[in-house]
Each structure stands twice: as structure tokens, then as C-alpha cells.
Amino acid sequence: MRYDTLIRNALIIDGSDRPGYPADLAVLDGRIACIGDLSAATAEVDIDAAGRVLAPGFIDVHTHDDTVVIRQPQMLPKLSQGVTTVIVGNCGISAAPVSLKGDPPDPMNLLGERGMFVYPRFRDYRAAVDEAHPAVNVAALVGHTALRSNQLADLHRTASTAEIAAMREQLRDSLEDGALGLSSGLAYASAFSADTDEVLQLAQELTAFGAVYATHLRSEFEPVLEAMDEAFLIGRAARAPVIVSHLKCAGAGNWGRSPQLLAALEQAAEDHPVGCDCYPYAASSSTLDLKQVTDAYPITITWSTPHPEQGGRDLSEIASEWGVSLLAAAERLQPAGAVYYGMDESDVRRILAHPLSMIGSDGLPEDPFPHPRLWGAFPRVLGHFSRDLGLFPLHTAVHKMTGLSAARFGLQQRGEIRQGHWADLVLFDPARVRDVADFKQPQQAAQGIDGVWVNGVCSYAQGRANGQRAGRFLPREGDLRQGFSRAG
């Protein structure tokens, strides 16, 4: 038999959290056709991996790529670091179902301007993704704040019974059309006034579908344990798996509390499917929140509508130059985005290494001066944390980006290298792989990523994209609760 692609002499790390093994791999018609000694086989494209690692394509479980996958479908920031699937719709904000009556409310503006929200039904968004032919696969959550923006003229209150019913109907329609579940961003002003019961009632729509509840907690600062309790309460009531988004100990007064958070996560996992995602940096990034303005750690402005020239500068420098307080400078910059250096490295490492944590970049592609996680999150885990620091073995690092993520989100026949699975693959050099993007020059491609295949099509090789875009929309498949028991 003649295959489409043969990758010979690879160290295959298959995504299952087992050590790698040497083998050849063949691709035919978009799928992994054979694994083993294929020295006698032939193919249209024959590649000698020369001992480099061949792994499943990385799954970015926490992105805000909702509109960029359609407008900039080449997806170079993700493709260049080995990502083959992105999960959008996180933190309560999604591109669909949305019918804006004005400008997108904060933080929906992280996804783009008003003209980018043109998907009143989830099925409209799904069709637009497939029509755009992005370079990566796309699976999507529905945002709680997006639903609120459709039904509430005033987002600074909890929803009425009628408004909740209307939101439930939109969520149910979206789940029927393949949405993974519901996300919330309860820390943001546009959703903070929603009481627990509002979210719980929406989450009840997840039960019949076996869909997931992913949440940017109501607080990641001092009340973080109480916020986790709220998330687990909602999940239990809806019999829905819970994923805590970008689990962290935010704020200097919160540093060192990661053992408490992880203990709470473990306790909840004893009788309910729960997990978390995290990114491998001690700095966060979002819109510029006046409540988070502090002199306890640096804050860098990533964008500002009235003062775009200030992007990339520290808030303290701007305030000093203007001769005003930090808060006054932040007010003058609004609306704006920021990077907050508000975490402790030891907490980041502890959460990153925990068996319940997956990797998500939380990158913001609309930022003119983005957090480097947009371009570097996955190679940073492989290079800095696994190889250089020895935080966990390389096969565990790969598992946190592939097999674990696919199981949690029900991405069938992806996330592991197995015969018959879709050929989402990344070839990398374990000695060279590293993130190059940093906080001074954040838009730089990683090193050591030598090949990326999406649905069997080589889309990135020798450090550059080749223009091939073979991604597709991935609808929810099956009951996601089952994946948690398999993933552990």
C-alpha cells in the first residue's frame, strides 16, 4: 500500500501519559493508518524524523480565537506552536449566539469590534467556521455573558425569570447544534451581578446533553475558595462536569495558597467530574480593570482605544509621565487591556504540575501587544517547565496538552496517536523546542516545532506555514462526563 505521508524513525509520545517509543507512522486519507516498522512502505511524502518526537497535535483548551479563526484563518500564532485544535467561547464570552444592540460590552470586546459579531445563532457560527477553512480545528462553548447581552439591556443586575427562560432556549438550541457547553466569566462586571441561581438555571440545560460547565470564577483573589464552591455547586446541580478556567492565586495577598485550591479541586473530584486549565506564566492578561489597579506588582498596557500609543508601556510609567495616580491614568486609558504580573511562580508551577490540570493559552489575538502566551504557551511547557526545570516528564507534558484535553472535551479520535485516529500531529525536537515570545517581543514563533499536520495535511514545516488549511468545526460528541472518568 502507498500512503499519503510516512514519518520514519520518530519517538512517538502518544498522548496517553506513557513514555515514548520508537516507530514509524503512516497517514492515509486524513487518518493514522499504521504505526510500527514501516521500512518497506512507500508514500507520496516520506519524512525522516531522525529521533525527534512525534506527538498528537496540541489542543488549546482555553482560547479567545472565536472571531479570528474566521477573519485570519491561517492561525499562525497557534499553528506555529503545534496547536491543531482550539476551544473557543471561554470566560462567558463567545461569538455566538449574539445579537448586539450596540458595542460589545466588556469583556466581549476582547473578541473584536461590533462588526465582528454577526452570528445570531450558534449554527451560523459553526457554518462560518467551516466556510473559512481555518488552519486548525475549532470546538466551541457558549458564553453566559453573550447570552446576557442578548436579553438584558442592563447587565448590572440578575436576570428575570423571562430573561433566563430566553437564555435557556438559546443555550439549548446551541447545544443541539454541537456546542460543548456553557462558559461563564463571573468576575467581570457584565456578569458579576448574576446570582448563582441564574447560572444554575442555565446550567440545567447541560444535563440532558452531557455538556460541560467551564468557568472563570467569580473571584481569583481572596474569595477564590468560595468562588470554587459556587462553581462546584452549579456543576453538581446540573450534573455537568466543571472545568475551572486558568486556575490561579491572583493578587499578592493570595500568593502561596495553591495547595488550598488544589485540595479543594481534589475533594470536589472525589464525587463529581472536575478539572482545570492553566497557562504557564505568572502574569495574566485581560481588559484593564480599575478594581485590579495596584502598585503591588507591575501592570503593562496592551491596548487603549483613546491612547493607542501607550500600548506596551507600564501603567506606572504612563501615570508618572502624565503626573497622575495609577487609578487616574487607568481611567484615562479606558477602554484598554493590560497584563498583570500578579501571580507567584511557585503557585504557577504547583498548579501546572497537578494531574487535574490541562494547558490552555488564554491568548488574546486582538491585542496589538499581546501577552506572550498567545505564541508561546505550549513550547514553554515542553521546553522551560519539562526539559529545563524537570517539573514533569515530557510524556506528561504532552498528555496535559493532548490526551487529557481530548478526553475532557469529548474530542473523539483525537488527542492520542492511535491507528484510525485523525492525523492531528506535531513533530518537534525535544532538545530545541522553546518559547521565543516574551513580554518585550511577544509576537514571535517558537523554536523546535518542525512539522504540524491537521487532519493529515501538513500545514507548518521548517518554521513556516505553507498555506494549507485543513481545520474544521468539531461538534460535541457524546456525553462529556464519560471522558472525565477515562481521563482520571
Please tell me whether residues 278 and 294 are part of one structural domain: no
Secondary structure class of 73 (helix, strand, coil): coil
Please tell me whether residues 441 and 359 are part of one structural domain: no
Q: For the chain (length 488 residues), average pLDDT per consecutive 10?
A: 96 98 98 98 98 98 98 98 99 98 95 97 98 98 98 97 98 98 98 98 98 98 98 98 98 97 98 98 96 96 96 97 98 97 98 98 95 98 98 98 98 98 98 97 98 98 96 97 74
Please tell me whether residues 46 and 118 are part of one structural domain: no
What domain range is 15 assigned to?
A: 2-55+421-465
User: Could you give the number of structural domains in the chain?
Assistant: 3
Residue 35 phi/psi, 5-degree rounding, is -135, 130
Please tell me whether residues 17 and 150 are part of one structural domain: no
Please tell me whether residues 300 and 279 are part of one structural domain: no
Please tell me whether residues 87 and 144 are part of one structural domain: yes
Please indicate, yes or no, if residue 67 is contained in any of the structural domains. yes
d(CA 264, CA 266): 5
Residue 162 phi/psi, 5-degree rounding, is -65, -40
Residues 269 and 236 sit within 8 Å (Cβ to Cβ): no
Please tell me whether residues 24 and 108 are part of one structural domain: no
Please tell me whether residues 328 and 358 are part of one structural domain: no
Please indicate, yes or no, if residue 471 is contained in any of the structural domains. no
Please tell me whether residues 368 and 297 are part of one structural domain: no
| CATH code of the domain covering residue 313 | 3.30.1490.130
Please indicate, yes or no, if residue 488 is contained in any of the structural domains. no
Please indicate, yes or no, if residue 231 is contained in any of the structural domains. yes
d(CA 185, CA 341): 20
- Of 342, 348, 321, 347, give the one whose Cα is nearest residue 332: 321
d(CA 83, CA 454): 9
Last residue of a domain, one of 413, 439, 454: 413
Please tell me whether residues 196 and 145 are part of one structural domain: yes
| CATH code of the domain covering residue 230 | 3.20.20.140
Cα distances from 158 to residues 163, 191, 351, in angstroms, run 9, 8, 32
Note the pLDDT of residue 486: 54
The predicted model scores a pTM of 0.98
d(CA 260, CA 233): 18
Task: Report the interhelical angle of 161-176 vs 196-203 (nearest 10°).
Answer: 30
Please tell me whether residues 50 and 110 are part of one structural domain: no
Last residue of a domain, one of 383, 413, 443: 413
Please indicate, yes or no, if residue 10 is contained in any of the structural domains. yes
Last residue of a domain, one of 392, 413, 434: 413
Note the pLDDT of residue 287: 95
Please indicate, yes or no, if residue 480 is contained in any of the structural domains. no
Please indicate, yes or no, if residue 405 is contained in any of the structural domains. yes
d(CA 297, CA 424): 40
DSSP 1: -
Please tell me whether residues 332 and 206 are part of one structural domain: no
Sequence-distant (6+) residues with CB within 8 A of 357 are 247, 275, 276, 277, 278, 351, 400
| CATH code of the domain covering residue 10 | 2.30.40.10
- Of 48, 5, 19, give the one whose Cα is nearest residue 398: 19
Please indicate, yes or no, if residue 478 is contained in any of the structural domains. no
